[in-house]
Amino acid sequence: MGERAIPPATGYDSPHGLLRKTWRELARPDPPQRISHPLSASFDTKAEAQRWAAEIEGDMSRARFVDIREAESTTLFEALKRYQSEVSVGKKGEKQEKVRIQKWQDSDLAHKSLASLRSSDMAAYRDAEIKAGKSTATVRLDLAVISHLYTVAAKDWGIEGLTNPCRAIRMPKGSKQRERRPTAEELKAIYKFAGEINPVLPVIFELAVETAMRRSELMMLRKDQVRGKVAYLEDTKNGERRSVPLSSRALALLEGLPTPIAGGRYFNLKLNTISNYFPRVCEKAKITDLRLHDLRHEATSRLFERGFTLMEVASITGHKTLAMLKRYTHLSPQDLAEKLG
C-alpha cells in the first residue's frame, strides 16, 4: 500500500541551522480510488514514517479513515459564500439570511477552516452578542445559519470529518413572550392617524386584525384569490397554501377598495413601507410599545376568544406547530372571568 522507496530529504533544523534528514512517507488507500490523492507527512526517522503510513493504511483498509483535507482547506467565508448561492437563494427569508451571512463573513472567525471551528468559538460569539445587547432571537438565528451550513456541507456537499460547532452549546434562552394587545381605543386611533398618512393604511391594519394574515400575505393578496367568504393564499411564509375565512367586516373592507385590474393585487405598497409607517402612526397616536406584528397576535387571540379550537386557529393562521401558536396567544383575563360566571 504505502510507498517505501522515497529517499530522505535534506532540511534545516531551525533556529540552529544544523542539517538533518527528514523521511517523507506516503499512504495510499487500497483500492487507490477511495481518495483522489495520497496522504503524505514528514518524520525525523524512517521508522516513524513507516509506522505512520502503516497506521493510516490500516484505518483505510478497515474503513475507519476519514479524509478531512477538504474540511481543513475550506474556510467559513468560502463555505458561506457557497451556502448563500446554493441554499439561501431558495428561501423566502433570503434577504434576512444574506445579512446574517455577511455578518459572519465580516467576523474574526471567517477565515478559520470548517474543521478548526469549535463549540467554544460559537459560545464566545453567543456571549459577546448577548453582552452587546442583541436579542436572544437574533443570536439564535445567527447561530442557526452556521448549524445549517454544517448540515448541508456534510450531507449535500460530502465534506467529511465535520463536527457541527453549534450542536453542543447552550442556546440563549428565548426572550419573554410578549403579551401586549392593543385596546379598542388604540385601534381606533391607529386607523384614524394611518388614514392621514395613506388612505389604504387603515384598511391594511384593520384587515390584519380581522384575518390574522401576515404583512406579506396581505400585500400579495389578489382579487382572484378571494372567492366567496374565503381568501385562498398560494404563497405563504412557510411555503404552504392556506385558506383564510373572511369575516363580514373583512369582506366589507376589501369591497370598499378600488377594483384592481383583473386578477391584480389589492395593495401596491412595499413591505418595508408598511413596517416603516406603523411606528409613525403609533407616535402620532401617542401609543407606546406596540408593533405591527402585534396586530396578528391580536387577531389570533380573538379567534380563541370566539370559541375556535386549537386546530381551527392553526388552520387559519398558518402556524405549523402548537408551540408557535401558543407563543402568539394571550386570552383576555376579563373574558375568561366572564366564562367562570
What residues act catalytically?
214, 237, 293, 296, 319, 328
Report the side by side order of strands in the sheet with 230-233: 226-227, 230-233, 242-245
d(CA 202, CA 45): 82
CA distance 302 to 317: 12
Helix axes 271-284, 201-211, angle to 10 degrees: 100
Positive or negative: CA dihedral 91, 94, 100, 106:
positive
Handedness of CA 275, 281, 287, 288 (dihedral sign): positive
- What string of DSSP letters covers 150-187? HHHHHHTS---S---TTSSSPPPPPPPPP-----HHHH
Q: Which of 150, 146, 139, 133 is nearest to 101 (CA)?
A: 146
Query: CB-based contacts of 124: which residues, under 8 Å, 6+ apart?
Result: none
Task: Give the span between the Cα atoms of 244 and 230, in whole angstroms.
Answer: 6
d(CA 174, CA 140): 9
Residues recorded for the chain: 341
Task: Tell me whether the omega of the peptide bond preceding residue 31 falls within 30 degrees of 0, making it cis.
Answer: yes
- The CA-atom distances, in angstroms, between 90 and each of 42, 239, 278, 296 are 45, 11, 29, 26
